[in-house]
Every structure is written in C-alpha cells, then in structure tokens.
Amino acid sequence: MTKSPTKSKSKTKDSNVNMTPKSKKNTSKTTPTKSIQSKPTLKNANKVMKTPSPRRAKKNSPQKQHILNETLSSKHIVTPPTTVNKTKNDNSPNKSEINKGTTTPKKALIQNLLQLDLEKNGQKQSSPKRKKSPTASLRDFKYRPLANTVFDLQEYLDDLVDRGIEEDLEDNDYKFLKQKILLSKKIVVITGAGISVASGIPDFRSQDGIFNQLKEKTTQENDDISVSSGKDLFDFNFIYSSPKALTLFNNMIYDLHTKIKNTKNTDFHNFLNNLAKKKTLKRCYTQNVDGFESHLNNLKIKHPISEKRGEWPNVIQLHGSINHLHCIKCRKIFDIEGKHFLPPAGKEDEKEIQLSDLLPNCSECEEAESIRNVIGKRSQGVGKLRSNIILYNEEHPESEGIGRVVEADILSSCDLLIICGTTLKIPGVKRIVKEFSKSIECKKDENGNGGAIIWMGNELPNQGIVDHVEFIDLVVLGDCQKFAKMTEPWFEKK
C-alpha cells in the first residue's frame, strides 16, 4: 500500500495533488463496471493532464451501443429505399482526380506544361531546398564555461592556420563566444583606450601612453612648470592654475583633435557598428574622448544627453568629447575649430595674458546679450568656451543624464556584457560594470542560458578586477582588433 501524497499548501490549479471528485458517472471508455480510482504517480504529478469529456465518453460507451443495436433489431424495421445506379460516363473526369492535391486545374495545367518543357530540354524539376540558418547549430548549443575561463585568441587563430580551416566549432569556448554575440538581443559594451590604440592614438597609462609623453614634453619645453605626471594636464586645478598651463592644455587638445580627425577608426569600432546594424547593441559606454564611433553610420553620439529616452544615443561618452567645446554659462555645445585656439590679439607679452583671454566667447551668449541690449534689459554676461573633456577633480556636468541611461539599461534585462580595452581604474566606470554584472548574473544557468559576461584584453585581468566584476564567464586573451576581424564573417548575410 503506497503512501498517499500530502496536500499542498497552495490552492491554485497547478497543485501537485490530483483531487478527483466522486461521481456516479463513469468517464472512462471501458465497460461500466465499478472502477477503482488510481492514485497519481510521481511522473504525472506536476503535469496538467487533459481529461476526456464525460459526455463524449458516455456517448461512445459499449453499453449504449448494445442498447442501440437491440432497438434497431426489434423495433421500427423499415425497408430501405431502392437505389438507382447511375450510368457512369467514361469521358467525365473522376472526382478523386479533380480533388487530388491542393492545386486548381489551371495551376495544374501550367505546372504540367512547365514539366513537359523541362523534360524536353533534358532537365528535371527540383523543389528549391530551404537554406539552413547559420545560427541553427548555435541555438541548440548548451554550454557554459567555468568562471574566468581563458580563451587564448592567438593560439586559436594559429591552430586554424595550421589545420587550414576557417573556424572550429568543436571548440566549446569559441562556440560559446560566437553564440552569445550572435544570439544575444541586448548587448552592453564598455570600452577604454585600448580599442583605439591601433589607429595611432596612444592610451593613457601604458609606458608609451599619453601621460608619459606629456610629462617628457612638458618638462623639456617648460622650465617654469613642474609636472609630476602627464595626468596633471588633465587635472582641473592644474590646468586653470595659470595661463601657461591652460595654453599647454589647449595646444594638446587641438593637436589630438587634428590627429583624430585625419585618422580612420579601428576594426573593433566596425564590430560595434555591426552590432548596431543588427540592432542588438543596447549601449556602448566608452571612456574614450576621441569620438571614432561618430564616423560610422549606425553609431550615434549626442551631447548633452536628453531627458527623453527615445532621444538617447547608442554610444555614451563617459568622459566627454575632445571634438567639442561647451559654454560654462549656457552649456551650449560647439564643434572645435581652429579659431578657438588662436592666441589673444594685441598681447604679445605672456605676462599680459590672462586666463579669460585663452577662453573664447560663446557666440550664443553674445547674440542673446545683444538682443537684451536692444530691448533695454539688464545684461547677464557672456559665457566662455572650454573643452568638453571631463577633467580630474571636476564635477561631471552630465552625471545625471548618464545615471538615467545606466539605470534604464540595467532594468531592461541586458543579456551580454563585453568589457574591452580598459583596466577599470576610474571608480565611476567600475561601479557601472559591477551593476551590469550583477543584473546579468542573476539570470544565468549552467546550460548557457540567461546571458554572459566577457572580458577582452591583451593581458589577463588582475585579481582585483576579477574579484570586483566577480562573474566573468570568458576571458578573451588577445588583440581586440584580431577578435573583431574574426567576427566579420559572422555578420555577413548568407
């Protein structure tokens, strides 16, 4: 005697215990003998089983059929009507032949004519084969690597060359990487200076980076300025401490802007553009100020960030733009032009130059001021233009706008986070990465469902980064430009 299942605390229809009410009517299709109700098995305990209708069971029962046969045999015996055999016309078409298939006679005639024409020319008509989707094998792939698994990109590419093949789908880590990039619907990418180095724009913190270059150049050319690090030239307090420091900063900004303007974007920027074209790029948060993304058709940058969600760009520059100036009074954004960096007229002696002389006037404020003078209103002053780069020790002017975008993207259930070309030294960026990482981790399972977190870089992330991000699925070790080049065939229509 088996133990009866316990009652569930829930009173919903999906309860694990099947309570069958006592009824005088038998709903089975067997003979109407006394039935013994069987207890639910564990196999069907969690399933909602569709029971047959009592009316249908009663209608088809053998007892009723037996009574019906006796009635017909004993009562109301009626002579069946005589049937008239119609002569069949040999020339008339057979009804089964007319109804054969789903095509109309006209369509069938056209198909027959085409078939005869093909047979006459010695060709056989073949039904077009449906092309298999290139992502079909990826959809059924169930795999998730162990946490912080390293995928050596260069080693993989060298192996393909040695074997003379285009890709190796037997490599589970490669297949996992391809699956997540092609099948994810809401991808967030966080980038740093590492993705722009291939274009000739140096990063900031490496041995040959911008900080060290600026330190050497400033020390050699200026005896009266002490620079402990090139980072000082991006510090608000240092830049606006003297006209000489501001002049150095302006010259550096204009030189970098000119170089970026005449430089092409990298393969990784094209990879981002492919994601945007596929409409799977939810957002790219970049620490770069170069603005290479604006050179591509499907990537958009906009300053300042609008309060309307529908007007948010798919690229958010976290540290501003080197290609723009903004007014410190009205916050109007301007494109950088050579005229903004001309030396002050009539002041050849450096001692006569003041900080305000090195900051051009805002044309919007000047126009508004002239209108106020005409109509006799009180003057409100004219604002000055300065670089739109966010400096150290400076309050971020667009922090609220960026915060709104980040919060909305986290709530939108992103399914892939890619971190590339950054060492996560900036606290604000580390915080953004952490929040996205937590939101994706809670949806993952061991079969690969729910999303992924991928780290890319020429070097392995240090233990501090691993502990901070906490949920890295795959570390792609290698050049991000080679990775982007490898993915180009993935986005081609086949």
How far the first Cα of the chain sits from its last, in Å, is 62
By C-alpha distance, which of 424, 440, 433 is closest to 469?
433
> Exposure of 57 by Cβ count < 10 A (0-12 exposed, 13-18 middle, 19+ buried)?
middle
Distances in whole angstroms, Cα of residue 412 to Cα of each of 16, 46, 186, 283, 454: 34, 32, 8, 11, 19
Q: Which amino acid is at 52?
A: P
By C-alpha distance, which of 473, 442, 430, 434 is closest to 455?
473
Phi and psi dihedrals of 335, rounded to 5? -75, 145
Active-site choice (257, 303, 319, 324): 319
Angstrom distance (rounded) from CA 299 to CA 316:
10
**Is the torsion defined by CA of 333, 275, 435, 195 positive or negative?**
negative
Pairing of strands 187-191, 416-420: parallel
Angstrom distance (rounded) from CA 486 to CA 202:
24
- Alpha-helical runs (H) found in 11-61: 54-59
Cα-atom radius of gyration of the chain, to the nearest Å? Answer: 38
- Residues constituting the chain: 494
Largest CA distance in the chain: 131
By C-alpha distance, which of 431, 426, 440 is closest to 468?
431
319 is catalytic: yes
> Exposure of 23 by Cβ count < 10 A (0-12 exposed, 13-18 middle, 19+ buried)?
exposed
233, two tokens: 């030239």
Distances in whole angstroms, Cα of residue 96 to Cα of each of 106, 109, 283: 17, 17, 61
- Quote the DSSP letter at residue 13: T
Element (H, E) at 474: strand 474-477
**Which three-class secondary structure state does DSSP give residue 211?**
helix
**Which residues have a catalytic role annotated?**
319
